[in-house]
Copies of this chain bind each other. A is one copy, B any other.
Amino acid sequence: MNEAYEALNDLLVKLFNNILTYEERALLTEDFKDISLNDMHVIEAIGINQKRNMSSIAAVLEVTVGTLTIAMNNLVKKGYVKRSRSAKDRRVVLVSLTDKGEQAYHHHLDFHDGMIKDIMKRLDGEKLDVLVEALHSIQDYFTVEVKNEK
């Protein structure tokens, strides 16, 4: 086979298989070792300076609300998240980040920021554009081709 094919295959397979492990290692350092990468993604989905209800967060994360309840119990217990009831509609549970939760949120953001800046540092403007284009292709592949197969 073609050289580019081999290189792409090798790189993408490795990246796919390990990206979450990499992220986990990078993210769950000293201060935040009592939570999982999953928890971090829940924190990311809650967002800063806002209260969000369970259903909308579950939809973003593409998990059932039941699954999210369990994750949230954990995060509340560990002091990352606060729960409250909506006054308007008392069925609705509103969650928001505590100070500790906001720190974790920023830690995650900083990780992404560091990674992107590092990648940008290594590639000049034109190459960067190509990377963006290529990543779009990958995204397209998954959102168009793959979804249709299903």
Contact = CB atoms under 8 A, between A and B. Distances in A.
Contact of A141 (B41, B118, B127, B131): B118
A146 to B, nearest CB: 4
Interface of A: 4-5, 7-9, 11-23, 25-26, 29, 41, 62, 112-120, 122-123, 125, 127-142, 145-147, 149-150
Per DSSP, are chain A's interface residues mostly helix, strand or loop, or mixed? helix
A19 B142 CA distance: 9
Contact of A150 (B17, B25, B114, B145): B25
Q: In the assembly, how many copies of this chain are there?
A: 2
A118 B143 CA distance: 13
Contact of A149 (B12, B29, B123): B29
B137 A4 contact: no
A23 B16 contact: yes
Contacts of A29: 149-150
Contacts of A16: 19-20, 23
